[in-house]
Structure 1
Amino acid sequence: MEYTRLGATGLEVSRLCLGTLNFGSGQPWMMNDREASVELVREALDAGVNFLDTANAYSGGESESIVGEAIEEYDREELVVATKVYFDMGDGPNKGGLSRKHILDQIEGSLDRLGTDYVDVYQIHRWDENTPIEETLSALDTLVEEGTVRYIGASTMAGWQFSKALHAADVEGYERFRCMQPEYNLVDRHEEANLLPICADQDVGVVPWSPLAGGFLAGKYERGREIPEGTRAADDDYTEQRLTDENWEVLDVVRELAAEKDASPAQVSLAWLLHKDVVDAPIIGPRRKSHLEDNLGAVDVSLTDDEIARLEEPIFPQWPVEGKD
């Protein structure tokens, strides 16, 4: 495994981050097997992955508790555990958002489920239009000052919102967001016209989610054929929405390069992200050991400038895009 620094910090993270959205129950495309989920986390750690990403909202906290169980016997100082806050964690008032109350309440639950006394990276899962960003930053700054949180990060928002948050932190003297989680992959490149230039300019680490577009870029699907049973696209429209003519053109090139390099489509797709200077660690989401092993092999796949251009040619990045804000 290779390692890098997260943005402008001194924090060392593996070039691939293990995402844990799949680790829990409630959706057919999730693992729905706690023991197997714990084992998969440990296999990733044994392979050198030290960066784990979860969220309080993933399966209502179940994902965090799986991560907590999995890391019990590992050296906590070597691990980088990241979680998130924003989405509703119950019915009634003050159960969601980024108010000072909700943030301070939710960090306690996350720490309890993770079985640790601090979180390395605490991220706001979305922008909260109902809470002043200064209130959110003040609460996060308190957690950093207490040592409960080491660094703070953000995820999925408009560029103007992120710029506003960074400016507010600088003006008020609050802790800055050190990393950003954008949706970014070969067929979802809108962030090249939104968040990524800001991250590059401000030395903010980039940790892309859905690097394989919900499995589409792994080559699981065939143009014009029925969606296979048991795949994510069969149960979730996120992946199904990627079955467009333009995206199929990208996947055709991915498959061509994979054949030329004796690699898998997933490895080529992840390697493309790893070759981007702005990207620190794509978040992989394997559901079984074979997926994990395949994803880890992406670190060893090299791409030339011409090959990168071939992969990018079918799509022109645009912001905003339909259905996203």
Structure 2
Amino acid sequence: MDYLNLGRSGLRVSRACLGTMNFGTEYGLAASDEAEAGRIIDAFLDAGGNFIDTADLYHRGETEEIVGRALKGRREWVVLATKGAMPVGPEGRGLSRRHLTRALDASLRRLGTDYIDLYQCHQWDPVTPIEETMATLDGFVRAGKVRYLGCSNFTATQLVEAQWAAAGAGGTPFVSLQPQYSLIQRVIEAEILPACERHGVGTIVYGVLGGGVLTGRYRHGEDPDPDSRMGRLLGHSLPGANRWAHSLLNDRNLGIAEELAKVAADLDAGPAAGSAAVALAWVAQRPGVTSVLLGPRSVEQLRENLAAFELNLPEEAVARLDEISRQDVGPMDGSSFHLVPR
């Protein structure tokens, strides 16, 4: 496993980051129970990964509890990241001093630790002044509860405003941003990646398999298997789940998936797991990407995903993938970065 510094910091993180959104039972989406989550974490650490990402929102706090118990006795060897801002209970939401202070303390309790390596704002708060948010986060760092700061789902403009607010107050800036990035979603290339490079911010990209569309599991004119992720989302009552699934299963995305399968076949990687590995490898090799978030629901899926980091795509394959996924990468709308149930 290779490691890189996260942004303009000394924090070294593995190129693969273990995402934990599938750990828990709250949403009823065939996610991983605690036993399987523990095996996935064990396998990830054994493979050389050191970076684990979670959030207070995931399964209404259950995920953080699962991760905390799994890391008991080896917490110091892991770069542990979590996120705050989303509502977990009746206490509200946002990036205000009041909400973030309560959210961080609750995350520390659930994770069973006295510090977070990377604490991230889960989304932009249009109501709270960014100066208040950055001053609050700097206070967390000064108090020793947090080591580094990051954000998720910010636009380029929002990221720059946050960095300016931190600099103006002599406080702690962000060292990372979590954006969505894949062969079917490349809008960050227009503004986000250049802004990150300019401001010393590393990227931890998520959604790299397009919600499973890029695995080759879905076809034009065919209904998703009811047991597949898209099939479950289409039949789920979770707000936005059905709409999000339909937005991914469009002609353009399915066409990219079909062409991706052909590239994978030419590389002798196989059409299903091979498609996923090639899609992951394409993202991992993109300029400006620090770490790639994986979201396995089993140890087998994790191992298939990790194989992508050993796959060095030839220039011809990269050129084909660039061409089939080319899109107008105009200014992005931050709302497009909300993956259910992120």
Please, what TM-score do these two structures have when normalized by structure 1?
0.94
**Distance (Å, rounded) in 1 between the aligned partners of 2:43 and 2:218:** 27
Q: Percent identity?
A: 39
Alignment pair present for 1:260 and 2:257: no
- Residues 265-312 of structure 1, C-alpha deviations (whole Å, 9 max, x = no match): 111111111111200111110011111000000111112333222112
Query: Displacement of 1:30 after TM fit?
Result: 4.1
Alignment pair present for 1:312 and 2:311: no
Alignment pair present for 1:244 and 2:250: yes
**Distance (Å, rounded) in 1 between the aligned partners of 2:117 and 2:30:** 25
Higher deviation after alignment, 315-324 or 96-105? 315-324
Q: 2:293 matched to which residue of 1?
A: 283
Q: 2:236 matched to which residue of 1?
A: none
Query: Displacement of 1:31 after TM fit?
Result: 1.6
Q: 1:85 matched to which residue of 2?
A: 84
The size of the alignment, in residue pairs, is 322
Q: 1:136 matched to which residue of 2?
A: 133
Q: Which of these residues, 147, 155, 162, is aligned with residue 144 of structure 2?
A: 147
Q: Does the residue aligned with 1:229 lie in a helix, a strand or coil? A: coil
- Output the amino acid matched with 2:260: V
Higher deviation after alignment, 279-288 or 255-264? 255-264
Determine if contact 1:159/1:194 at 8 Å carries over to the other structure: yes
Q: Does the residue aligned with 2:248 lie in a helix, a strand or coil? A: coil
Q: 1:25 matched to which residue of 2?
A: 25
Q: Does the residue aligned with 1:282 lie in a helix, a strand or coil? A: strand
**Distance (Å, rounded) in 2 between the aligned partners of 1:273 and 1:322:** 20
Aligned positions of 1:289-304 closer than 5 A: 289-304=299-314
Q: 2:9 matched to which residue of 1?
A: 9
**Distance (Å, rounded) in 2 between the aligned partners of 1:28 and 1:234:** 13
Determine if contact 1:42/1:71 at 8 Å carries over to the other structure: no
Determine if contact 1:123/1:155 at 8 Å carries over to the other structure: yes
**Distance (Å, rounded) in 2 between the aligned partners of 1:55 and 1:221:** 29
Q: 1:49 matched to which residue of 2?
A: 49
RMSD: 1.7
- Output the amino acid matched with 2:15: R
Higher deviation after alignment, 191-200 or 304-313? 304-313
Gap regions ≥5 residues in structure 2: 234-241, 338-342
Query: Displacement of 1:48 after TM fit?
Result: 1.4
**Distance (Å, rounded) in 1 between the aligned partners of 2:143 and 2:333:** 40
The verdict on how the C-alpha distance between 1:177 and 1:321 changes in structure 2, with shifts beyond 3 A counting, is: closer
Determine if contact 1:189/1:318 at 8 Å carries over to the other structure: no
- Output the amino acid matched with 2:26: G
Determine if contact 1:29/1:230 at 8 Å carries over to the other structure: no
Determine if contact 1:29/1:231 at 8 Å carries over to the other structure: no
Q: Which of these residues, 140, 159, 168, is aligned with residue 162 of structure 1?
A: 159
- Output the amino acid matched with 2:316: D
The verdict on how the C-alpha distance between 1:171 and 1:16 changes in structure 2, with shifts beyond 3 A counting, is: same
Determine if contact 1:82/1:123 at 8 Å carries over to the other structure: yes
- Residues 63-110 of structure 1, C-alpha deviations (whole Å, 9 max, x = no match): 001110111132x3321000000011222xx52111111111111111
- Residues 23-61 of structure 1, C-alpha deviations (whole Å, 9 max, x = no match): 012323242522222222222112211100000011111
**Distance (Å, rounded) in 2 between the aligned partners of 1:161 and 1:73:** 38
Please, what TM-score do these two structures have when normalized by structure 2?
0.90
